[in-house]
Chains A and B, each alone.
Chain A
Amino acid sequence: MSSLRIISPGVLSLLQDAGRFGQGQLGLTQGGPLDQHSFRWANTLVGNPINTTLIEHSVGGLIVQAQGACTVAVTGATLPLSHNGHAVPCWQAIHLAPGDELALGNVSQGLRVYLAVQGGIQVAPQFGSTATVMREGIGGLLHPAADNPQHRLGGHKLHANDCLPLASTNLTRVSLAGATKNTMPQSTPVAPLPPAVTQQTLPSAAILRLRIIEGYQATLFSAIERARFYLNPYRVSPKCDRMGYKLTGSAIRCSTQQLLSEGISAGAVQIPPDGQPIVLLNDRQTLGGYPKMGNVLSLDCWALAQATPGTEVQFAPISVEDAHNALQLDAARFTREAQRLGLTSALTQPQGRHHD
């Protein structure tokens, strides 16, 4: 079996699929890609179904070596990418020969990068998903041969010399392996994307707008507190990780501080006693008792996860109808772009189901 060897994991490299769903009753969180837009594109560019295991890399420094011929694509944050020392563009499929090295430099815009391999990284799902959640010790690369069951557990970030098993290379289902690709010399762009697509989740304006669907305890906040929340800008604090992004700015007060713990959905905006909002992301705790203003639209959560500390953000309320409209437009745009590039996509597959 072919594999991809980690020469250097860089700052943080985690195996992720679309996420773990339906396991909340065990206390297991969702995991999965922080920037789903870039995640989808990485898989789609190499012809994978959307929910295929890839590497989510943060900040920079990842270097991998192909142990067999394979096709990869890198999407997400802007960074220098080199193939055997030669600069190559992101957002396109790249063919690696056995022994070839692919090196990711440091991000210059954004934080999260996605490296997909055609056919996907082959690791056994835990609780229905390969998503790595370090805090839970679940998902990612497993070590089934270890004597102690504890050591067989996942939840590990990638380390140097980890070998990621790949699917056999002669996959027939991969639409990308069509006439176009086969007539091209190696390392030639197969499917370059227009810049408009590549920039979608990277902060382009000075202020990142976070659209909010009001819900949960929104009505427990007074009109003055809500106005304060929407009229003042906030900044991304250094306390930002896969669990959530703590923001700093005008403190928001809530009339009620005592709530029974309840289920927390993706993007929930929690207001703890210090009044500084926290946007809860993929690795959030499943239950919590702080008042919540509502939830940030997923499309904006993806962009937030690309934002670095200090980035200015501004909340803006939207209706559920507008939220659904935005999601459907985004899905339609993605499908249209993929079709235009001669790639197939299956965005409408139910969440949490593996298609391989």
Chain B
Amino acid sequence: MSALTRAGGLAATDYTLTIAGENAFILYLATQQISPTAAQQIALAATQLTPMVGQQLVELLPSYASLLIVFDPLQHSHLSIKPLLVQALATPVNLLGQSPAKRVELPVWYSEQSGPDLLTVATAKGLTPAEVINLHSNMCYQVYAIGFAPGFAYLGELPEALTMPRLSSPRATVPAGSLAIADRQTAIYPAASPGGWHLLGRCPIAMFTPWQSPAMPVAVGDHVQFIPISEREFTLLGGTL
């Protein structure tokens, strides 16, 4: 994608704008797959449209290979807003002036005690628990999307060697801070909730703190590295089982 390295705008062939209700378009990238390139393009599109939020737009919702664009239907119509979007998306962005993607380190206590599926995953993949931990923590992950619940960040991509389908029967409660994997994705559950992912450990850092600003340590486009820590360090960082 040469357009990206030049920090130019999106070419009209890179995306389509599809109707998503009376007050929205959804931008789909031409290629619908999870990839760092797709994430970069979505981040670029979001950057280009962000100045319109609060003016013509109400909300932007990025995901893996799409961007939901919401406007006020009493102020604008699809017909009136589309040319503005196309124009903004084609405008080159000076990425030097933009806040760059952060690199965030998140401590994780990987263990059978804190991650009840660590052994199951190791057995299923023919690995030792230590090898699972190494494989998982040696990767730098990209934040592809935030959703499902407040602060739930979808990180990818998980090494092929750790790919596991979701649990056939989801747990009624996954504890807050649980580090989990499913398919080619990994995430930390920000709050206790039902969940069907495999649990490998626990992170003592809160992923969503409504009374703090920013409320989340990560944003879409950021990079995350997990740092293995001991039970003692987990406790010292405020973690509780």
Q: CB within 8 Å of B: which residues of A?
A: 21-22, 24-28, 126-127, 135-138, 149, 152-153, 213-216, 259-268, 285-287, 294-295, 297-298, 320-321, 323-324, 327-328, 331, 347-348, 350-352
Judging by beta carbons under 8 Å apart, are A285 and B22 in contact? no
Interface residues of B in 121-143 (CB under 8 A from A): none
Q: Across the interface, do A27 and B219 meet the contact criterion of CB distance under 8 Å?
A: no
Stretch in contact with the other chain, from B6-14, B59-67, B108-116, B227-235: B59-67
Quick one: closest A residue to B71, CB to CB? A351
* Cβ contact within 8 Å between B32 and A136: no
Chain A binder among B158-166, B197-205, B210-218: B210-218
* Pairwise interchain contact B19-A266, C-beta atoms closer than 8 A: no
* A22-B59 in contact given A263-B67, A350-B75 (Cβ < 8 Å): yes
Smallest CB separation, A8 vs chain B (Å): 29
B43 to chain A, nearest CB (A): 11
Residues of B within 8 Å of A268, CB to CB, are: 20-21
A157 CA to B18 CA, complexed, in Å: 37
Q: Which residue of A lies closest to B18 (CB)?
A: A215
Choice from A126, A287, A327 contacting B22 with Cβ under 8 Å: A327
The interface stretch among B86-94, B95-103, B147-155, B167-175 is: B147-155
Q: Are B145 and A153 in contact (CB under 8 A)?
A: no
Pick from A25, A259, A352: contact of B62, CB under 8 Å: A25
Q: Are B22 and A295 in contact (CB under 8 A)?
A: yes
Taking a contact as CB atoms closer than 8 A, the residue among B18, B63, B149 that contacts A261 in the complex is B63
Q: List 15 A-B contacts (CB under 8 A).
A: A21-B58, A24-B60, A25-B60, A27-B147, A213-B22, A216-B18, A261-B63, A265-B21, A294-B19, A320-B22, A324-B22, A324-B77, A348-B74, A348-B75, A351-B72
The complex places the Cα of A135 from the Cα of B148 at a distance, in Å, of: 11
Assembled-state Cα–Cα distance A261/B153 (Å): 12
Closest chain B residue to A297 by CB distance? B22
The answer to whether A27 and B151 have CB atoms under 8 Å apart is: yes
> Out of B63, B72, B210, which one reaches A350, CB within 8 Å?
B72
What 3 A-B pairs come out closest when comparing CB atoms? A263-B68, A287-B147, A295-B21
In the complex, what residues of B have CB within 8 A of residue A138's CB?
Answer: 150, 210
| CB <8 Å contact, B148 and A262 | no
- Closest beta carbon of chain B to A208's beta carbon, Å: 18
Whether A347 contacts B74 by the Cβ 8 Å rule is yes
A263–B63 touching, CB < 8 Å: yes
Contact (Cβ within 8 A) A260 B21 = no
Nearest CB on B from A304, distance (A): 14
Inter-chain contact B220/A26, CB cutoff 8 Å: no
Asked whether, in the complex, the Cβ of A215 is within 8 Å of the Cβ of B62, the reply is no
A214 touching B74, Cβ below 8 Å = no
The answer to whether A285 and B210 touch (CB under 8 A), given A263-B63, A295-B20, is no
Which residues of chain B have C-beta atoms less than 8 A from A350's C-beta?
54, 58, 72, 75
Q: Are A25 and B24 in contact (CB under 8 A)?
A: no
- Cβ B26 vs Cβ A263 within 8 A: yes
Residues of A within 8 A of B32 (CB): 259-260
Q: Do B21 and A263 touch across chains, with their CB atoms under 8 A apart?
A: no
Question: CB-nearest residue of chain A relative to B149?
Answer: A27
Cβ-defined contact, A327 with B73, below 8 A: yes
Q: A350 CA to B52 CA in the complex, in Å?
A: 13
- Whether A265 pairs with B68 at a CB distance below 8 angstroms is yes
Q: Is B226 an interface residue (CB 8 A)?
A: no
Q: Which residues of B contact A213 (CB under 8 A)?
A: 19, 21-22
Measured between beta carbons, the chain B residues less than 8 angstroms from A351 are: 58, 72
Contact A28 B219, CB 8 Å, known A22-B59, A260-B63, A350-B72: no
Q: Is B85 positioned at the interface, with any CB of A under 8 Å from its CB?
A: no
Contacts of A215 in B (CB 8 A): 18-21, 26
Chain A residues with Cβ under 8 A from B148's Cβ?
A: 27, 285-287
Cβ–Cβ contact B151 & A262, under 8 A: no
B156 to chain A, nearest CB (A): 11
Task: Please measure, in the bound complex, the distance between the C-alpha atom of A352 and the C-alpha atom of B60, giving whole angstroms.
Answer: 14
Q: Which residues of B contact A347 (CB under 8 A)?
A: 74
Contacts of A286 in B (CB 8 A): 61, 147-148
Cβ–Cβ < 8 Å partners of B66 in chain A: 260, 262-263
Closest to B64 in A: A260
Q: Per a CB cutoff under 8 Å, which of B23, B62, B215 touches A266?
A: B23
Partner of B19, one of A135, A320, A327: A320
Which residues of chain B are within 8 angstroms of A152 by Cβ–Cβ distance?
Answer: 211
B68 contacts A266, C-beta separation under 8 Å: no
Min C-beta distance of B82 to chain A, whole Å = 10
CB distance from B31 to the nearest CB of A (A): 11
The smallest beta-carbon distance between B121 and chain A, in angstroms, is: 23
Interface residues of B in 22-46 (CB under 8 A from A): 22-24, 26, 32-34
A262 to B38, CA, bound (A): 13
Q: How far is the CB of B54 from chain A (nearest CB, A)?
A: 8
Chain B nearest CB: distance from A216 CB in Å? 6
* A26 close to B146 (CB less than 8 A): yes
B70 at the interface (CB under 8 A from A): yes
Closest Cβ–Cβ distance, residue B109 to chain A (whole Å) = 21
With contact pairs A126-B210, A152-B211 given, residues A27 and B146 touching in the complex (Cβ less than 8 Å): yes
Q: Min CB distance, B175 to chain A, in Å? A: 15
- A215 CB, min distance to chain B CBs, angstroms: 4
**Provided the pairs A127-B210, A320-B77 are in contact, do residues A136 and B19 lie with their beta carbons within 8 angstroms?**
no
